[in-house]
Homo-oligomer: A and B are copies of this chain.
Amino acid sequence: MNNTNKNTATLLISAPDRKGLVAVIANFLLQHNANILHADQHQDSQAGLFLMRVEWDLNDFATNEHDFQAAFSPLASEYNMSWKLSFSQQKPQMAIMVSQYEHCLADLLHRYRIGELACDIPLIVGNHENCRALAEFNGIPFYHIPMIKEKKAEIEAKQLALFEQHKIDFIVMARYMQILSGDFIDKYPNKIINIHHSFLPAFDGAKPYHRAHARGVKLIGATAHYATSDLDEGPIIEQEVARISHRDSVEDLIKKGRDLEKIVLSRAVRWHLDSRVLSYHNRTVVFD
């Protein structure tokens, strides 16, 4: 598995655009003997922003994480950079939240098992019992935390405590059919990935397949996005569609949609794990 065995560092940077930023960063890395494997940058000229992802081999690299922080910080301040450093061998801790549908969970766990996802999954939280067997077959603790409308705050506090205890870096809502509170989401900004079962902005909200069928569309879709306090309005990471016809009932749409949801959610999770996604102004850059 190339993802899990490699030994690289990745830097994601956004900064007000100005001349010389590429040179500044390339020189800094060269001074520390980095062998750049991949550098990609993007200018959003409308927003006046410079966005960059650079990945380098750590084998010859002259600096450890701590020294890098110390050395890079003054530069980052000078150029007003926001930046995030990650290491391929420090696996992020990913939590999964589910309800009754298990297709996205099953897909993610299979990918995890065969080494496609370079992360640890310390726990799965479900508001129903029925995904327990699947979780435990994959050796992952399953916490059944039913949702009771009147006790939502309390229940979310319980979930958050679990995530904190397990040092969770980011959360995947694998068809978790509850709406998270704004307070919950604020704890994990751009760190909660949700899958919505339509090509947003079409059919946001409830029952998108039913509404797609009623409207007579010829394509259905799925959208992975970072959750924000505006439901289904967060920055889009990935979308995909599939063709349907007049022969397809709502049940067929749901069935075809499952395949879309799995594909789209797993791409978003992989890209997030690879530090390929940079979110700004309610949109994303996905470096390829």
Chain A residues engaging chain B, CB cutoff 8 angstroms:
1-2, 19-23, 26-27, 29-30, 33-44, 60, 102-103, 106-107, 110, 114, 116, 133, 137, 199-203, 215-219, 221, 235-241, 245-247, 249, 251-252, 255, 259, 263, 282-286, 288
Is B102 a contact partner of A106 (Cβ separation < 8 A)?
no
Is B216 a contact partner of A283 (Cβ separation < 8 A)?
yes
The 5 closest A-B pairs by CB, nearest first: A216-B283, A23-B26, A202-B202, A246-B285, A22-B26
Is A201 a contact partner of B215 (Cβ separation < 8 A)?
yes
A103–B286 Cα distance when bound, in Å, is 26
- Provide the residues of chain B in CB contact with A19, threshold 8 Å: 30, 33-36, 60
Q: Could you pull out 29 A-B pairs where Cβ atoms are within 8 angstroms?
A: A19-B30, A19-B33, A19-B34, A19-B36, A19-B60, A20-B26, A22-B22, A22-B39, A23-B29, A23-B30, A26-B26, A36-B41, A37-B43, A38-B41, A39-B41, A40-B40, A102-B114, A103-B110, A107-B110, A110-B110, A199-B217, A199-B221, A216-B282, A218-B236, A218-B237, A219-B240, A241-B241, A246-B285, A288-B288
A217–B133 Cα distance when bound, in Å, is 36
Q: Which residue of B lies closest to A250 (CB)?
A: B46
- Provide the residues of chain B in CB contact with A239, threshold 8 Å: 217-219
Is A2 a contact partner of B249 (Cβ separation < 8 A)?
yes
- Provide the residues of chain B in CB contact with A29, threshold 8 Å: 23
A245–B40 Cα distance when bound, in Å, is 14
